[in-house]
Amino acid sequence: MHILVTGGAGYIGSHCVQRLLRDGHTVVSYDNLFRGHRRPMDLLAQQHPDTLTFVEGDLCETDRLEALMREHAIETIMHFAAWAYVGESVEMPLAYWRNNTVGSLSLIEAADRAGVERFVFSSTCATYGEPGPDQIPIRETCPQQPINPYGQSKLAVEKILIDWVRACTNEGRPCAVCAPRYFNVAGCDRSGLLGEDHEPETHLIPVILEAALGRREAITIFGTDYPTPDGTCIRDYIHVEDLIDAHVRAMEALEPGDTRFYNLGIGNGLSVREIIDACREVTGVDFPVKEGPRRAGDPPVLYADPSKIRDELGWSASITDVHEIVDSAWKWFKAHPDGYGD
Ligand code: UDP
């Protein structure tokens, strides 16, 4: 298949490009390199010179995207390009609405004009907001009430896509959409080629590994007074390769008129302290830990009920031990203490 991957030079997008190339697809990776990196594109192009094209560009370039889709006979879009920091979204809501919602609308308009019929959109559990205790583990039917602009900006795109598929179906066009809603994506490509290099880095596991490498003075726990057994927030950590596997299965299962939403997690929650302990065990480093105040916009407990995707597509996470997730990241971080170096 001919697939356009937006955000293909980013952490999750590059892992998706790698998987699609391994599966024999032809990929156009489109990224503005604001937070993505050219290096993973070069590494993947060395392995797949005939089936990977990298294009530097922005989502707002609707006409250019349409031309690109026509030129490469794109059949499916996998849309990862987005800004994804909850805290930043609270400080810069307009940038999140522009980059995530307006950018996605531009991409969907280009797809519509170019006649692309299948669209996979990376959504998020942040669209659920702060579910009550009776809504945990979170099912897809949980009310979507985001509590930050990041979640709002992604939920709006889900709604645009539902309307698009409905209109296409009414016109007799066989469009279909899938939007996996991610929990906490972590770990790196186990072949060691691709990693996670964010600037700024705010995600828990990479921040801890940077502390273990001595690149940060300490890791700070954001809040120790949550209503959880050890007082720290609980999240559902899923390995990036499992996450991408779910995307591929969902893409392959799409039928005309589908709008599929799936929660992607392993179905278990771990606290910040449990992640710190796992990182200590994997790295063997006794890095300093500080206790700090809560971070704005962090719900206390979020973990998935992934039974819908298991029942419908036969997918469940193959890596359920967080040590294995941390180990895959630690190998890359140790080998690349300066990230991709660009
Ligand atoms: N966290 C923390 N210290 C950090 C980074 C994150 O205590 O330096 C906590 C954060 O408050 C949240 C959990 O770790 O409860 C996961 O945060 P992350 O930013 O990795 O992902 P999020 O859940 O916000 O998508």
146 prior amide bond cis, ω within 30: no
Indicate whether 271 belongs to any domain. Answer: no
Ligand 1 binding pocket (C-beta < 6 A) is 86, 184, 202-204, 207, 219-222, 233, 235, 272, 295, 298
Asked if residue 288 belongs to a domain, the reply is no
Evaluate if pTM is beyond 0.85: yes
Alpha-carbon gap, residue 161 to 108, rounded angstroms: 8
- Atom number in ligand 1 closest to CA 294: 11
Q: List the domain range (segments joined by +) for residue 94.
A: 2-185+237-265
| 56 in any annotated domain | yes
Question: For atom 18 of ligand 1, which residue has the closest CA?
Answer: 203
3-state SS, one letter per residue, for 119-139: EEECEEHHHHCCCCHHHCCEC
C-alpha to C-alpha distance for 51 and 26, rounded to whole angstroms: 5
With a CB cutoff of 8 Å and minimum separation 6, the contacts of 173 are 115, 117
Is residue 342 a part of any domain in this protein?
A: no
Ligand 1 centroid to Cα of residue 235, in Å, is 8
Number of separate domains in the chain: 1
Measured by CA distance, the residue closest to atom 10 of ligand 1 is: 222
State pLDDT tens for residues 95-146: 999 999 999 999 999 999 999 999 999 999 999 998 998 999 999 999 999 9
Cα 31 to Cα 29: distance, rounded to the nearest angstrom: 7
In a domain, 223, yes or no: no
User: Any idea what the Cα angle at residue 112 is, between residues 106 and 114, rounded to 5°?
Assistant: 100
Q: Taking CA 145 as the corner, what is the angle to CA 98 and CA 10, rounded to the nearest 5 degrees?
A: 45
Kindly list the catalytic residues: 150
Distance CA 40, CA 53 (A): 12
Query: How many CB atoms lie under 10 A from the CB of residue 311?
Result: 9
**Does the residue 96 lie in any domain?**
yes
Q: Is residue 228 part of a domain?
A: no
Q: Ligand 1 center to residue 254 CA distance, Å?
A: 33
**Residue 295 CA, ligand 1 centroid: distance in Å:** 8
CATH code, 69: 3.40.50.720
Query: Does residue 253 belong to any structural domain of this protein?
Result: yes
Residues 6+ apart with CB under 8 A from 80: 5, 6, 7, 8, 10, 12, 13, 16, 122
Q: Which residues pair with 121 in a beta bridge?
A: 79
Residue indicated by tokens 């989502």: 59
Written as tens digits, the pLDDT of the chain (342 aa) is 999 999 999 999 999 999 999 999 999 999 999 999 999 999 999 999 999 999 999 999 999 999 999 999 999 999 999 999 988 998 999 999 999 999 999 999 999 999 999 999 999 999 999 899 899 999 999 999 999 999 999 999 999 999 999 999 999 999 999 999 999 999 999 999 999 999 888 999 999 999 999 999 999 999 999 999 999 999 999 999 999 999 999 999 999 999 999 999 999 999 999 999 999 999 999 999 999 999 887 889 999 999 999 999 999 999 999 999 999 999 999 999 989 988
